[in-house]
Amino acid sequence: MTVDPRQTALALGRFGLGARPGDLAREEPIRDALRREVTAGAVALPNGPDLEATPTLLSALRTEEQARKLAREGAPGASLPEGPPAPPVPERTYRAEVAARLALAQAAPIGFAERLVWFWANHFTVSVARGPQLRVTAGAFEREAIRPHVLGRFRDLLLAAATHPAMLIYLDNVASVGPNSPAGQRRQKGLNENLGREILELHTLGVGSGYTQDDVTALARILTGWSLTREGNADGLPGATAFRRGEHEPGAVTLLGRTYLDVGPEQLRLALADLAAHPATARHVALRLARHFVADDPPPALVARLAQTFLDQDGDLARVSLALVEAPEAWDPAQRKVRSPQEFLVAATRGLGLALDPRMVMAALASLGQPYWSAAAPNGYPDEAGAWASPEGLRARLDLAALAGQLAAGTDPLALADAVLGPLATDETRTALRRAESRAQGIALLLMAPEFQRR
C-alpha cells in the first residue's frame, strides 16, 4: 500500500503528539499504525521513584504535615531532619508526575493513546490548585483511574473517576453526608451536591440534556457514604476509597425517572452504569471527542456517527476511537485545531529532540496558561481556538519559540521543516525560513508557523 506523506504528517499532529525527525519516513500507512495502537489495548504507565499509590501519597503528606506542625510548636524531638531541606511531598510528587508524563510523550512513536489519556483526564478534571492533597494525587488519579480505562468501557472509566480519592476530595464528596443517615443525624451535617452536579453536567449527560435539580440532588444522595478510609486500608494506610454505610442516605432514590434501591455501594454502580449508557451521554462524549480532535465546530454527521458507535458498542471507547480514525471528516486536510499549550510544547520538544528539566517545563506551561492538572474549574481546560490564540497567549508562545531557537541554534530550520512538517510546510513558511537572519530565528519562525501551531 502506498504511503501518503501528507496524511502521515497530518495524522502525527492531529491524532498524535507531533513528528520527530525520521517519523515522516515511516513505511507503514499511518492509519494502520493508529488502528494498531488502539487495538493493542495497552496504555503506557508512567514510572518513577516518587510515583506511589494514592494512599501512600496521602499518608506521606499527612506525616509531613504533622511533623511540620510539631516542629512549629517546638515539641520535644519533633525537629525536622538536618541538612538541606527536601522539597515538600506535594512539590516533589507533582514534579515527578510531570517528568514521567514528559518522558512518555517524548518516547511515544505516535502518541494517540497518550492523547486519549490527556483528553479523558481533562474530561474528568481534578485540579492541583485545590491544595496539597490534590497536588499529590492528581497524577495518581490519572495513573489509577484514567489510563487503565481509556480503551475500555466508558462505564468503568466513569466509576473509577467518580470514586477515586482525588475526585472525592476535589468535588467535596468527602464532606457530603446523608441528612437522614446515622452520621447525619448525629452531626447535623448534610449533602454536598458538587460531585453529583458535575457528573451529570460534565461527565455524562451534558448541559441541556433534560436533567433537573431534583436529579442533581438524587445523585448526590446516592453518592453519600463514598469517602476515604481514616484509620487505614489493608496495607495500614489511610486515604483509600471507602464506602461508609453510616454516612449514606438511607432509602430508595429516583434519578431520571428510575428508582435505585438502597443496596449500599451497588446503588452508585447501577446509577452510573445507566448514566454511561444514556443516549445523551453518547452525544456529549461524541461532541467533545470530535471537537478535540477535528474542529471546534465539528461536523454534525461525525458527531452522530461517533455517538451511534458509542451506543451500539456499549460504550467501548476503543471502538469509538477507531470510528474517529476511520471517519473521513477526521482526515480533512485543513488544519482547523489550534494546538493547546501542552500540545505545542510537547510537539516542539519532540521535533527538536530537546530534553527539558521538568521545572523548566512547569514554568513554561504556567506562562502559556496550561500547567498539568491545574484547570480553574471542573469543566477542565477549554478546547477552542479562542482560549489559546489570544494576543497574550501568542506572545507567550513566541517567547518560548525564541528560547527553543536558542537551545537548538545548531539545527537547520529548513531541514527541520522537512522532518516535522514535510508536505504541510507551505511555500510562504519555507521562504520565511530561508530569509531568517539566523538559525535560531529560523527555528522560532518555524515553531510559530500556522502549520506548526495548528493540527
Residue holding cell 452508585? 268
Q: Which helix (DSSP H) or strand (DSSP E) does residue 451 occupy?
A: helix 450-453
Sequence-distant (6+) residues with CB within 8 A of 205 are: 211, 275, 278, 280, 281, 284
> What is the grid cell recorded at 243?
464506602
Q: What stretches of 268-381 adopt beta strand conformation (E)?
A: none
Taking residue 446's Cβ as centre, other Cβ atoms within 10 Å add up to 29
Averaged pLDDT for residues 428-455? 98
- What are 127-157's pLDDT values in tens digits? 999 999 999 999 999 999 999 999 999 999 9
| pLDDT(235) > 60 | no
- d(CA 342, CA 23) in angstroms, rounded, equals 20
On whether the CB atoms of residues 229 and 240 are closer than 8 A, the answer is: yes
Closest-CA residue to 196 (of 159, 177, 222, 228): 222
DSSP code, position 421 = T
pLDDT at position 75, please? 66
Q: How confident is the model at residue 377 (pLDDT cuts 50, 70, 90)?
A: very high
**Could you tell me the maximum CA-CA distance found in the chain, to the nearest angstrom?**
76
User: pLDDT-derived band of residue 73, with 50, 70 and 90 as boundaries?
Assistant: confident
Question: Structural domain boundaries of the chain?
Answer: 278-331, 338-453
pLDDT, mean over the chain: 94
- Phi first, then psi, for residue 78 (nearest 5°) are -110, 15
Does residue 329 surpass a pLDDT of 90?
A: yes
pLDDT at 77 over 60: no
DSSP helix, strand, coil percent of the chain (3-state; round to 5):
60, 5, 35
Task: Give the length of the chain.
Answer: 455
Say which range, 72-81, 337-346, 399-408, has the weakest mean pLDDT. 72-81
| Beta partners for residue 258, in sequence order | 255
